[in-house]
Structure 1
Amino acid sequence: MFKDSDHAWNPTAEEIRIWAYSDALIPEQDWELAVNSFENIPMICSFVDDEECKHISFFLSCLYVFTGDFVRSRKNEEYNKLIELLNRIEVIAKSEELKDWIKRSKDLILNPDKYDYRFWGLGSEYVY
């Protein structure tokens, strides 16, 4: 699926989509960091809401890592962008897992001191 490990660290949306529905193992350790971006979050949310996706837990973990990294880096100028994204996704979210991520993300944005790597980092206890 990926030409080499360097390519796996810069995946296209189509490559991520193909992997989501495959039985393939995660291409690289900590790959959550490679797929996370504002542009990919709606697609990642669609995977979490799709029972046909083979890697729902992985993508749910991506969401927690995304919010955690965002809040931890204190990108205050982009908070509105994240809130708008969460509000758009909230309207179409189907699964309880996705709705929980949205609720928890909004709470963390309002209360950044609640950040705990165990829940917002790789291997999130909210997911695994």
Structure 2
Amino acid sequence: MFRDSSHAWNPTSEEIRSWAYSKDGIPEQDWELAVNSFDNISMICAFVDDEICNRDRFFLSSLYVFTGDVIRGAKVEEVEQLSILLNKVGKTAKAKKLKAWIQRSKHLIQYPEEYSRDYWGLGSKYIKMKFLC
């Protein structure tokens, strides 16, 4: 699917979409970091909301990492952009797990001191919670 490993770290939205519905393994370790960008978040949310997409846990994990990275970066304009995006996605979100990410992300924006890598980093404990499995 990807020409080489370096290309997997700069995937197009078409490549991400193709992988989302394939049976291929994760292209690279920690690939959640490669798919995360403000441009991709709406698409990633759609994957989490799509019952046909069997990569929902992967993409949900990437959403938690994305929020964590934005909050840790503490750039006001990025936090504001995330807040706008959460409101937009919240209008159409169907899946309980996506709605939980939105709610938790909004809470973290309000209380950034509550950031914990255990919940907002790779291997998020939120993904391991029973109702998300």
Pick the TM interval, shorter chain: over 0.9
Correspondences of 1:30-109 after superposition (within 5 Å): 30-109=30-109
The CA deviation at 1:76 is 1.4
Q: Which residue of 2 aligns with 1:112?
A: 112
- Cα distance in 2 for partners of 1:45, 1:118 equals 21
Correspondences of 1:117-128 after superposition (within 5 Å): 117-128=117-128
Task: Give TM-score, length-normalised by structure 1.
Answer: 0.98
- Cα distance in 2 for partners of 1:111, 1:31 equals 28
- Cα distance in 1 for partners of 2:39, 2:108 equals 21
The residue identity in structure 2 corresponding to 1:3 is R
* 2:31 is aligned with 1:28: no
Cα deviation per residue 1:36-72 (whole Å; 9 max; x = unaligned)?
A: 0000000000000001112110000000000000001
User: Please, which moves more after superposition, 98-107 or 68-77?
Assistant: 68-77
Matched pairs, number: 128
State the identity as a percent. 62
List runs of 5+ in structure 1 lacking aligned partners: none
**SS at 2:43 equivalent:** helix
**SS at 1:51 equivalent:** coil
List runs of 5+ in structure 2 lacking aligned partners: 129-133
**SS at 1:63 equivalent:** helix
The residue identity in structure 2 corresponding to 1:89 is V
Greater share of residues in helix: 2
The CA deviation at 1:78 is 2.3
The residue identity in structure 2 corresponding to 1:60 is L
The residue identity in structure 2 corresponding to 1:18 is S
